Amino acid sequence: MNKKTKFFAVALTALALFIGVQSNAQSIQKGKLRFGIGLDGLIPVGNLTKSTNFGLGITPRLQYGITDRFALTFTSGIYHFFPKDMYYNDGIQSYKYRWDLDLIPVKTGIKAFVTSNIYVNAEAGIGFQVDNGGGDSKFMASGGAGYATKHWDFGVRYENFSGSNYRNGIIGLRVAYGFGL
């Protein structure tokens, strides 16, 4: 993790703890299901910046309130990364290529509300690669924070995915519309 990413993670944690100490409102209903569909802006960090410019995602999420402050989440969807032109030189000729990356994330997690609208969350799961290479899977783990209202959810997260001897990361910005089931 680079210094900017570490600083970002520490700042989010500190903000959540500061707000959480002063909270007394409740955000979700125990035993209730919510469904939301989000649009994600995906900003590559680390090695992923060498091969992709940015990504977009569509992420449906199911949320189940286990208490009035904690919920279990199940998230899936698709991430599409827009590749950069890369070049390989074998000593004789130079080749231009692109590394396509499309992932279907399948993640479970927990969402903890520290005030009536502000939450922190963590998810883990598998990302299935579906682009030209296909068949590869990646372990995914993320942590973030957000602001949720009755219908809207605005979140930011750091997400790492690794597999096939590499690790990549993204900063994800999610805007979602949700409703109770």
Instruction: List the CATH number of the domain containing 132.
Output: 2.40.160.20
Q: What is the mean pLDDT of residues 44-54?
A: 87
* Contact call for residues 55 and 44 (beta carbons, < 8 A): yes
Confidence check: pLDDT of 24 > 50: no
Stronger pLDDT, 1 or 118, i.e. the higher one: 118
- How much is the CA Rg of the chain, to the nearest whole Å? 18
The pLDDT tens digits of the residues spanning 97-154 come to 777 788 999 999 999 999 989 999 999 999 998 876 667 888 999 999 999 998 999 9
CA–chain centroid gap for 94, Å, is 36
Lowest mean pLDDT among 2-16, 42-56, 66-80, 126-140: 2-16
Domain span holding position 41: 3-23+32-180
Tally the domains of the chain. 1
